[in-house]
Chain A
Amino acid sequence: MKQLTYLKDVVTLELDQQKCNGCKMCITVCPHEVFEFREKKAFIKNKDQCMECGACEKNCPEGAISVRSGVGCAAGIINGILRGSEPSCDCSGTSDKCC
């Protein structure tokens, strides 16, 4: 099956190659093969595949990656608008709603 893609040129992912130590952690945790490894450094190969989950940023020991991570979920964004808060799906123990 071909990889499903979403909107182009909207993703906030950025990688500062100066800081990259070549540990490959970003490649390990990325669920969409956004990164590739060349000459001992990570590169962003498929930016439009990124779903902004934030796993790479969280696991980069050098802090070389930044992304505005959050739920790519319409219901979560509507929740955020209604409450005037950050987009968030209502997944918690006290609620029966969840995205």
Chain B
Amino acid sequence: MKEGYITGTIKTIFGPVPQVSTVWSRSDIWQTIKVRWNLNRMKYKVEPGLYATGNPDSNSDVFVSANFKLSFDHLRRALNGMNAWILVLDTKGINVWCAAGKGSFGTTELINRIKIHALLNIVDHRNLIVPQLGAVGVSAHEVKSKTGFRVIYGPVRTEDIGIFIKSEYKATPEMRSVKFPLKDRIKLIPVEITYGKYYLLLVPAIFFILAGLNPHGYSTDSAWNNGGRAVINLFSAYLAGCVLTPLFLPWIPFKRFSLKGLTVGWLIAVLFLFLNLLGSNIFEIISWFLIMGAISSFLAMNFTGSSTFTSLSGVQKEMKLSLPVQIGAAALGLIGWIITRFI
């Protein structure tokens, strides 16, 4: 099957190497938008192997990448106007950083790919440009001792590759450091929204049905009145945790993501209190604070996985306290809310 980004082939002594476009097509852009919304994300792959941009020869640079198409697309776009080789590792369709954490973007796979694609004969030099975040899985000295290739860690972001090459393979501290600016956080939010999957329908539906309960039995009128409010409150708490908290992350007080989420969730709850969305009964109001706080806090805590600066030890410490409190609060809130149906 011929992929749209393959524009031709380069002949080498070891057979043809696909030549790829360094410009994104409309289909690449559309697929990127879809994958940012978590659609087809785990099947968004390119075939591992050797590729070419421009017309590389035995002196051209070799860039190593993952076979997640979004990673590969960013690299080939950054190589616009350059004659280079791209060595794509089999990372099971996972991006460089995550795959390196799992070891699939790793020393063994890199060494194997160097051998499979006869890199020793394709190029005369002995340098490989590996994305810096790949260092989590790649041991440069091991690659050197087993293959003779020197791993040069390139910049974190592909858009810095041009300057990196011009400055003789030197990445500035700025190019090496991972920040987490608003622009990056916004890109992650769509995937966060899809986190709840079918629970996003199931949980509000259960609340809606339960909302019809009243001291006299069941009425569809109260389902509409109280259930409608419940659905709004639940969705708002969800979005507080997975949209508002990531968006305003640096400006929300507290270090713990769960407390950041709780803060935003309760701010929304206070706002809703004044909008009369939490009901008039004090028990129902308290129940909503518990439920909304728990949901927002949990979703915000989940964003640690997408953030670029949280450590395993830190998240474990945070969760030890937060997770039981979140579960307890949600359960208590649910019970409280059901009880208020009957008073």
- Using a CB–CB distance below 8 Å, which chain A residues touch chain B? 1-8, 10-12, 25, 28-33, 49-55, 58-59, 61, 68-78, 87-89, 91-93, 95-96, 98-99
Is A6 a contact of B135 with CB atoms below 8 Å?
no
CA of A92 to CA of B68 in the docked complex: distance in angstroms?
Answer: 12
Does B215 lie at the interface of the complex (its beta carbon under 8 Å from any beta carbon of A)?
Answer: no
Q: Mark B299-343, 1 if CB is under 8 A from A, else 0.
A: 001101111111111111111000100000000000000000000
Is A33 a contact of B173 with CB atoms below 8 Å?
yes
Residues of chain B within 8 A of A29, CB atoms compared = 132, 135, 153
Is B314 a contact of A72 with CB atoms below 8 Å?
yes
Say what secondary structure dominates the interface of chain B: helix
| Chain B nearest CB, measured from A89 CB (Å) | 6
Is B42 a contact of A50 with CB atoms below 8 Å?
no
Q: Enumerate B116-140 residues with CB–CB distance to A below 8 Å.
A: 132-133, 135-140
A-B contact pairs, 26 of them (CB 8 A): A1-B179, A4-B307, A6-B309, A7-B311, A11-B314, A12-B313, A31-B177, A32-B178, A49-B309, A53-B136, A55-B100, A55-B135, A58-B139, A59-B139, A68-B313, A71-B101, A72-B312, A73-B305, A74-B257, A77-B316, A78-B323, A87-B312, A89-B305, A92-B92, A98-B42, A98-B98
Contact of A52 among B135, B180, B313 (CB under 8 A): B313
CA of A1 to CA of B180 in the docked complex: distance in angstroms?
Answer: 9
Is A72 a contact of B311 with CB atoms below 8 Å?
yes
- Using a CB–CB distance below 8 Å, which chain B residues touch chain A? 41-42, 92-94, 98-102, 132-133, 135-141, 153, 156, 171, 173, 176-181, 249-250, 255-257, 301-302, 304-319, 323
